[in-house]
Chain A
Amino acid sequence: MLRFVLGRLVSLTLSLFVASVVIFLFVEVVPGDPAAYMLGLNAQEDTLEALREQLGLSGTLWERYSSWILGMLQGDFGTSYTYRTPVAEMIADRMWISLPLALYALALSTLIAFPAGIWAASKRGSLVDTGIMGLTQLGVAIPNFWFAMLMVLIFAINLRWFSAGGFAGWEAGFWPAMKSLTLPAIALALPQASILARVMRSSLLDTLGEDYIRTARAKGLTRAQALWRHALRNALIPVLTIIGLQFSFLIAGGIIIENVFYLPGLGRMIFQSIAARDLIVVESVVMLLVFAVILVNFAVDIAYAVVDPRLRVRA
């Protein structure tokens, strides 16, 4: 098990390094001068020069890359060009919205998908199965931003149960904050839940066709008992993979939903920073997202090993 974890750690570090180089180069070659963006149409050349100096935009590519990486290793993400506040602070503030939103959506998606998938699999071919599969087909097909706008129209504008967007703030209390995340979380969760339910069903059906299930049935277990005791655990591997992928998507994919609901989360911050050429923020946030995705994949790998002991030996 230890060797397995160490092996995974090495590949994690390598991926992070490669990602940092790629991100830095891509962001730096994008045309656009942050100083010009800030000072607008009437700025004079000497003013632009003075501002570039203040922002630390002078220096070679290599100097800027190494100071960025070294700073990040010490937890210093630099200072935003436009906001002039430490990037780490900005990320931490925004994280308090994006992370709970992703977790909320993930919880909703799992809570919907597991029962739906299991129910459909256990009643294979029945009306229930067809109904659930039809709904999930629809859930995958509907773009989540469109569904989000539809929900705003119904629940915010017509019924007035929710606000159309914005975030109440955690200082307003847990429930008001959760309430302002509810519509966005549902919008994010719907397509994910649909995919997950379909994976759950097909994976369960696959395992239900295995020999050991026939053996279990032969020794007298009902179909339901065999499903719960033997098939479910074995069907979980592909489901875990999908959940891992989805979590990364939920963090990064919040960009559009955060804009629809004008939530001050990470996604919206990236959006604004790209337009303003606040490169240091873009680099650091993208790097952080890469780190989160890689870390989640690492956690999923470890989870496989926990669910399936054979993997521990093989690695």
Chain B
Amino acid sequence: MKLMKFAAASALAMTVAGGALAKTDITLAMQLEPPHLDPTSAAAGAIDSVLYSNVFEGLTRFAEDGSIQPGLARSWEISDDGLTYTFTLAEGVTFHDGTAMDSEDVKFSLDRARAEDSANAQKALFDSIASVEAVDAQTVKLTLSEPNGSMLFNLAWGDAVIVAPESIENIKQQPVGTGAFTFEDWVQGDSITLKRNEDYWGEAPALEEVNFKFISDPTAGFAAMMAEDVDVFAGYPAPENIPQFEADPRFQVIVGNTEGETILSTNNKMSPFDNVKVRRAMAHAIDRQAIIDGAMFGLGTPIGTHFAPHHPDYVDLTGMSDYDPEKARALLAEAGFEDGFETTLKLPPPSYARRGGEIIAAQLREVGIETEISNLEWAQWLEQVFKGKDYGLTIVSHTEPFDIGIYARPDYYFQYDSAEFQEMNAALSAESDPEKRSALLEDMQRLIAEDAVNGYLFQLAIPTIAKAGVRGLWENAPTQANDMTGVYWEE
């Protein structure tokens, strides 16, 4: 009897002690669900949001500030001509199925991504790789066909993570990586569960279980947060509710940067936008701050070119296209459009586009440009605007990091064809000296701002709502990821 009492007492003591320990599981909500779980064969950012750095790792990785850090490659050497990269891999790394991760897996992953029949959404990242060689188990040699100053950056993308030939067949449902969390379960339409990888080669994460929950409706998201059904909402979709969370001591609001340059894309081959004066006139007709305040409830940083303001090489060119309707009218008159003109404004679903579009239409009307607004679904937008180039104006956020290179593609949907820019871009790829790269990048930013290729609006901000006790979340989003390896609950 006495013994039983003792047992009961110690059981009680244990539960009390257990209660005092910090929580080791977390539920993180996001708006979009991944279509499948293979980051190397789809553009859907939601895949990386769940798996990047948690389940899958690449040779290099993005840190929260956007810098490139060693990933599975612990060190590397670059030959003087910039054509050979020799990576030394971390030792003792195993995939979640227990097989070893070695240079053969790296070769397999990179060769698969750049293969003829590859379905990699960012295949261009691997264009300059001529061959991948497994020197020994721990060493991989990349030979490039031409120097590429952004190779280490390219390898940090979610599309360049290391996968294993043994598990590639079922990767879309059963992702097997080398990361600090293993994939546990996916209830489609509802949630994905990750568990801590007890055999992780690096530093063990504090969390034992991470639950990703998919809540697409903004109102439902608000309710789920308020009812404390979820602990974190990453990329909270209703900025109008943010003051309510800020005022509530149960929550913290984190507003970070993204790589999303939100622009008024302009069809540069279509009349009258083929006239640079018309494009400059539009740039002066747009009041960025009014759009940020009206459409984004104050979240977002004005930009004057296609570059992220938090990037060290960013040049603030907003002054080149300050809000000046008088000047806009004068420029339009110079171009021969005293009475303005009519064009189409095709808007994809995100609220920055739909709300921003209404405001821009009103601002353009002030200077005599009438726009016919049509709201499109993403699939329609891709078909009509992106592929068909059947549009005058559209609004879209370009969320890929460091993507100024798209201006060197004359067949890209805004159809900017400038030999000068294309030369600069080629020079940039070949350049690996950091200072010269910076100088080139600044010139490139200036050129597209001078040519007013598109209307440069603002850098998209990402608001995250979290319970007050959550620590270690990424504030910025250098890539679409929710790196949970450093997240913990404060006691």
User: Which of chain A's residues has its CB closest to B381's CB?
Assistant: A32
| Cross-chain contact B219 with A260 (CB below 8 angstroms) | yes
Given the known A-B contacts A42-B43, A42-B121, A84-B172, are A262 and B226 also in contact in the complex, defined by CB atoms under 8 Å? no
Given the known A-B contacts A37-B379, A84-B173, A260-B217, are A269 and B189 also in contact in the complex, defined by CB atoms under 8 Å? yes
Residues of A within 8 A of B215 (CB): 165, 262
| Cross-chain contact A264 with B43 (CB below 8 angstroms) | no
The residue from B35, B36, B188, B191 contacting A90, defined by CB atoms under 8 A apart: B188
User: Which of chain B's residues has its CB closest to A55's CB?
Assistant: B119
| Cross-chain contact A32 with B382 (CB below 8 angstroms) | yes
| Cross-chain contact B120 with A47 (CB below 8 angstroms) | yes
Residues of B within 8 A of A84 (CB): 36, 172-173
| Cross-chain contact B383 with A33 (CB below 8 angstroms) | yes
Residues of B within 8 A of A260 (CB): 217, 219-220
Give Cα distance in the complex from A274 to B398, angstroms: 23
User: Which of chain B's residues has its CB closest to A49's CB?
Assistant: B117
| Cross-chain contact A31 with B188 (CB below 8 angstroms) | no
Given the known A-B contacts A33-B387, A38-B43, A272-B33, are A259 and B220 also in contact in the complex, defined by CB atoms under 8 Å? yes
| Cross-chain contact A40 with B43 (CB below 8 angstroms) | yes
The residue from B188, B214, B398, B403 contacting A83, defined by CB atoms under 8 A apart: B188
Identify which of residues 109-142 in chain A touch chain B, using a CB-to-CB cut-off of 8 Å: none
Per-residue interface assignment for chain B, residues 380 to 418, with 1 indicating a CB less than 8 Å from any chain A CB and 0 otherwise: 101110110000000000101001001000000000000
Q: Does B375 contact A (CB under 8 A)?
A: no
Of A18-26, A152-160, A231-239, the segment with at least 4 beta carbons within 8 Å of chain B is A152-160
Q: Does A85 contact B (CB under 8 A)?
A: yes
Place the interface of chain A in its size category.
35 or more
Q: Does B377 contact A (CB under 8 A)?
A: yes
What does DSSP make chain B's interface, helix, strand, loop or mixed? loop
Identify which of residues 47-74 in chain A touch chain B, using a CB-to-CB cut-off of 8 Å: 47, 50-51, 53-54
| Cross-chain contact B213 with A152 (CB below 8 angstroms) | no
Q: Does B224 contact A (CB under 8 A)?
A: yes
User: Which of chain A's residues has its CB closest to B172's CB?
Assistant: A84
Residues of A within 8 A of B224 (CB): 163-166, 262
* Given pairs A36-B382, A164-B220, A164-B229, 14 additional interface contacts (CB within 8 A): A31-B380, A41-B398, A41-B400, A43-B43, A53-B117, A82-B36, A83-B172, A149-B223, A165-B229, A169-B187, A262-B217, A274-B377, A275-B377, A277-B379
Interface residues, chain A, with chain B CB atoms under 8 Å away: 31-34, 36-44, 46-47, 50-51, 53-54, 82-85, 90, 93-94, 149, 152-153, 156-157, 160, 163-167, 169, 259-265, 268-269, 272, 274-277
Interface residues, chain B, with chain A CB atoms under 8 Å away: 33, 35-36, 41-44, 116-124, 172-173, 187-191, 213-217, 219-220, 223-224, 226-227, 229, 377-380, 382-384, 386-387, 398, 400, 403, 406
